[in-house]
Amino acid sequence: MMSYAFFDGEVVPSEEARVSIASHSLQYGTTCFGGLRGRVEGESVQLFRLKDHHTRLMKACKMLGFDYSISFEAFNDALTSLVASNTPDGDFYVRPFVFCPEEKLGPRFDTLNYDLAIYMMSISNYLAQDRGLNLCISSWRKYPDTCIPTKAKAGGAYLNSSLATTEAKLGGFDEAIMLDHEGYVAEGSVMNLLIVYRGEVIVPQVGSPILDGITMRTVVELLRDADIPIRFERIDRSMLYAADELILTGTAAQVAYADSVDRRSIGAGEAGPICQLLRKGFTEIYAGNHPRSEEWVTTLTLARAPK
């Protein structure tokens, strides 16, 4: 974790951002969180789709029934002052989250007080970008929306992702793909996916048990810009094995491609044409060469102390 965190309404040294071991959040996983990627370009920092991350976090509070809200302006101010205090010198990850610091017994949400905290960590490539990934289908299914809202990044629900990733890593794979309760392809542990199948891009429908990923929303726009047809449909396991490309997307994952699923090889052993097109698209967005660059990329100037 970087030196400063936003906690209890202000930026404080990270070691002062503490909660009780009896807090509702620690005992019951009562949090919902966001995750943004920051890039350092010389003396400035670029944050991707800040407004959309704030909106998703606020909607998650609503879905879960957490009585908490913060305006975009206040959220932006908190995040901006935190980035200024930490003055990162390489790519980083920002984790804003709403949580309950209270010591309370009993799993119910409506009687709790919530707060926002934010911390930052250095991040490079969460998933390899310079080679294809070896994936497996997890024996753990993605929980259905009838159990936990799948459009909220609900802290406790990530036990499901942790089970899947742990199993995959112990089995010698890079990552896991989870099927949903009906056996259709849902998503990775912290990433969405798409396939190129018989020359078409197929993306699981948002109305299936997956997160409405901000990277995937961007990917869909990039594909539309390039007039590449997309179908939002169910994907079954055999379609993964038969895919020409399988791409994972996410804030941490960026745009990564698979070399194999369950040891069946996918693609030609290198980033396929759709993966390359998407990566180029993201480079253009950050370089300010996309019509929505200004809307999507927030640039902050860092004031570094002289060395």
Q: Is 187 in the site for ligand PMP (CB under 6 A)?
A: yes
Least distance CB 212 / ligand PMP (angstroms) = 8
> Which residues lie below 8 Å from residue 62, measured CB to CB, with a gap of 6+?
none
* Alpha-carbon span 191 to 62, nearest angstrom: 23
Which C-beta is closer to ligand PMP: that of 4 or that of 92? 92
Q: Is 31 in the site for ligand PMP (CB under 6 A)?
A: no
- Which structure tokens are listed for 307? 């060395």
Which C-beta is closer to ligand PMP: that of 214 or that of 261? 214
Residue 198, φ and ψ in degrees, nearest 5: 45, 45
Q: Is 209 in the site for ligand PMP (CB under 6 A)?
A: no
Q: Is 203 in the site for ligand PMP (CB under 6 A)?
A: no
Residue 89 CA to chain centroid, in angstroms?
A: 22
- Sheet strands (E) in 78-213: 92-99, 115-122, 133-137, 175-179, 185-188, 192-197, 200-203
Least distance CB 10 / ligand PMP (angstroms) = 26
* Alpha-carbon span 242 to 219, nearest angstrom: 22
Q: Per-residue string for binding with ligand PMP, 149-168, x by CB under 6 A? A: ----x-------x-------
Which C-beta is closer to ligand PMP: that of 156 or that of 302? 156
Please pick, from the candidates 86, 192, 260, 298, the single residue that binds ligand PMP as defined by CB under 6 A. Answer: 192
Structural contact between residues 266 and 259, judged by C-beta atoms closer than 8 angstroms: yes
Reference 40, options 97, 86, 95; nearest CA is: 86
Q: Is 214 in the site for ligand PMP (CB under 6 A)?
A: yes
Within residues 246-265, the interface with ligand PMP by CB under 6 A covers 249-251
* Alpha-carbon span 279 to 175, nearest angstrom: 20
Please pick, from the candidates 31, 86, 134, 215, the single residue that binds ligand PMP as defined by CB under 6 A. Answer: 215
Within residues 38-67, the interface with ligand PMP by CB under 6 A covers none
> Which residues lie below 8 Å from residue 296, measured CB to CB, with a gap of 6+?
48, 49, 218, 285, 290
Q: How far is CA 41 from CA 77, 87, 95, in A?
A: 21, 12, 20
Stretch near ligand PMP under the rule CB under 6 A, chosen from 5-13, 22-30, 244-252, 285-293: 244-252
Q: Is 208 in the site for ligand PMP (CB under 6 A)?
A: no
- Which structure tokens are listed for 196? 């190129």
Which C-beta is closer to ligand PMP: that of 134 or that of 161? 161
Q: Is 190 in the site for ligand PMP (CB under 6 A)?
A: yes
Reference 211, options 165, 240, 250; nearest CA is: 250
Which C-beta is closer to ligand PMP: that of 180 or that of 187? 187
Which is it for strands 133-137 and 175-179: parallel, antiparallel or unpaired?
Answer: parallel
Q: Is 204 in the site for ligand PMP (CB under 6 A)?
A: no
Q: Is 213 in the site for ligand PMP (CB under 6 A)?
A: yes
Q: What is the rounded radius of gyration, in angstroms, for the C-alpha atoms of the chain?
A: 20
Which C-beta is closer to ligand PMP: that of 8 or that of 91? 91
Question: What are the residues binding ligand PMP (CB under 6 A)?
Answer: 35, 153, 161, 187, 190-192, 211, 213-216, 249-251
